[in-house]
Amino acid sequence: MTLLAADGGPACYVFTINDWICGDYYRDRWRELWDASVEHLWITAAAVVLGLLLAIPVALLARRLPRFEGLVLGATTIIYTVPSLAMFSLLVPFTFLTPRTVIIGLALYSLTILVRQILAGLRSVPDEVREAAAGLGYSSLRMLARIELPLALPVIMAGLRVATVSTVALTTVGSIVGYGGLGNLLASGVDTDFKAQILAASVLCVLLAVVLDLGLLGVQRVLTPWARARSS
């Protein structure tokens, strides 16, 4: 049985034809592309959210303890230099062959960008503003939540956007433990010279990155209405 195209000839993605752009491929495999995109999206999202949850307290601690800061920034940078193939292999004995391996690995990578950017954001809050808030009797937690984080938000969001886009790309490497989203299709496509699949997975990866980036930009605009008011 040979897979047939709509017009009755062989499908344009068979090895002997192997078109880069092939309607039969999208028709026959859209389900696979959709599932891979969904997996890619949730692994990326889980990794970035986990990275953010780790980065905020680490950045706060680094700000509080200057000696700790150099250590933290050094450590996150060293983590970033661990090749992703090695990172996942190192995590497997603890997290097994589950999506956890990929999510934790990618979250650790995102720390490099997020911790620095959260620190930079908090530092961008003017001292006068902080002193005024203290004068009004703001507790430290309330000051963080109501004054510092909102003012640091544009800088933090810029870091979050970079971290998200880079995580979309890195998620593909998760295919070595079987959870790489579109990376699974890319890897098997490269192995078998499956051009339509390689191109489709690559384009979807880029689309995913663009959509997430625009989405975060939208979130930032909603969260910082004052910035919009000023610029318009």
Partner 1 sequence: MTGTRLNVRTILGTMLAAGALLTAGACGGDDGSAPSPGGDSDPTETTEPGASETTDSAEKGTVAMSGQDFTEMQIMAEMYRQVLEGAGYTVDVNLVGTRDLYIKGLGNGQIDLVPEYLAGIADQLNGDKPFTTNDTQEALSAVEPLASDAGITMLEPSEATDQNAFFVTQDYAESNDVTALSDVAGVGDSVTLAAAPDCEGRGDCEGGLTEVYGIDIERILPTGFGTQQTKDAVLEDEAQLGLSGTTDASLDELGLVLLEDDKGIQPAQNLIPAVNSDFLTENPDVEALLNELSGTLTTDDLAGLNAQVDIERQKAADVAEAYLSEKDLI
On whether the CB atoms of residues 104 and 50 are closer than 8 A, the answer is yes
Which of 8, 16, 66, 231 binds partner 1 (CB under 8 A)? It is 16
In three-state secondary structure terms, 30 is helix
> For partner 1, which stretch binds (CB under 8 A), given 49-57, 108-116, 155-163, 211-219?
49-57
| Minimum CB distance to partner 1 smaller for 126 or for 218 | 126
The least distance separating partner 1 from the CB of residue 60, rounded to whole angstroms, comes to: 5
Q: Is 13 in the site for partner 1 (CB under 8 A)?
A: yes
- The neighbouring-strand residues paired with 10 are 4
Per CB under 8 A, contacts with partner 1 among 87-146 are 89, 92-93, 95-100, 103-104, 130-131, 133-134, 138, 140-141, 143-144
On whether the CB atoms of residues 107 and 171 are closer than 8 A, the answer is no
On whether the CB atoms of residues 32 and 26 are closer than 8 A, the answer is no
On whether the CB atoms of residues 59 and 118 are closer than 8 A, the answer is yes
Which of 33, 36, 48, 50 binds partner 1 (CB under 8 A)? It is 50
- The 179-218 site mask, x for binding partner 1 (CB under 8 A), equals x----x--xx--xxxx------------------------
On whether the CB atoms of residues 15 and 193 are closer than 8 A, the answer is yes
Q: Is 177 in the site for partner 1 (CB under 8 A)?
A: yes
Which of 6, 49, 136, 207 binds partner 1 (CB under 8 A)? It is 49
| Minimum CB distance to partner 1 smaller for 143 or for 153 | 143
- d(CA 77, CA 115) in angstroms, rounded, equals 10
On whether the CB atoms of residues 42 and 167 are closer than 8 A, the answer is no
Amino acid at 108: L
Paired tokens of 222: 């909603």
DSSP secondary structure string, 144-174? IIIIIHHHHHHHHHHHHHHHHHHHHHHHGGG
> For partner 1, which stretch binds (CB under 8 A), given 58-66, 70-78, 200-208, 218-226?
58-66
- d(CA 217, CA 227) in angstroms, rounded, equals 13
Binding site for partner 1 (CB under 8 A): 1-3, 10-11, 13-16, 42, 46, 49-50, 53-54, 56-58, 60-61, 63-65, 85, 89, 92-93, 95-100, 103-104, 130-131, 133-134, 138, 140-141, 143-144, 175-179, 184, 187-188, 191-194
